[in-house]
Every structure is written in C-alpha cells, then in structure tokens.
Amino acid sequence: MNPHVEKARDLRRSITHAERRIWSVLRGRRLDGSKFRRQHPLGWFIVDFACVERRLIIEVDGGQHAEDPADERRTAWLESQGWRVIRFWNDEVIENLDAVAERIMRHLDECR
C-alpha cells in the first residue's frame, strides 16, 4: 500500500480539535455543495482538506507552522499544480468558525 495513503489514514484518526471544528462545516457538502476530502494525499504531501472539483486546499495550522520555510515550499508546489491554498490558525478556527466559513465560501466562489 502507498505509504502516503497509510499516513493519511493515521492523520484522519488523530484529528485535532480545530480540524474537527472546521470539518463540521465542510463535511457532507455543507458549504456551497462542495465536496471536501480530509487528510488528502497530493504528490508527496498530505493536505488537511481538499475540494478536488474546485482545486481548493484548506490548511489548519498550529504555532509550529509560523513562518516555516517548508510550508512555503509546499504551498508553492501545490500552487504550481493548479491548487489554491488557504491557511487558518487553529485559534482562528476555534474562536471564529463563522468568519472562517465565510472566507472559505468567498474562495469557493472565486474557484468556479
């Protein structure tokens, strides 16, 4: 089995509180009818959430990702493959989920 698929499965089982909150908005086509996948492998990477039909990736990050050059390289590669990447901090998702959902909706509209 592909090691990325196995790692993605492990990540799905160990979902963070912030990821659980945002997943409650994204799952079941609840946002604009768009289907999101959780812990989705793309190339060498596993992204937090991906809407394949709109080529939109949502990353939910903790403080360890602040100004991380690896994240910048990862985003650059994903964008070079035609994906749009938006990032939210864990605190932002936990404290203001409605604003996060509105921002995702704007990006979904732009990806049409």
The structural domains of the chain, with segments of one domain joined by +, span 3-110
Q: How far is CA 81 from CA 7, 85, 104, in A?
A: 22, 11, 20
pTM equals 0.85
pLDDT in tens, 9-55: 665 566 889 999 999 999 999 999 999 999 999 988 999 999 999 99
Distances (CA, A) of 33 to 25, 38, 45, 109: 11, 16, 26, 11
Neighbours of 105 (CB within 10 A): 14
Q: Each residue of 45-76: pLDDT tens digit?
A: 999 999 999 999 999 988 654 567 888 899 99
Homologous superfamily of domain range 3-110: VSR Endonuclease (3.40.960.10)
Spatial neighbors of 45 by CB under 8 A, at least 6 apart, are: 74, 77, 78
Type of residue numbered 77: W
Which pLDDT score, from 0 to 100, does residue 65 have?
A: 47
Tokens standing for 17?
């509180």
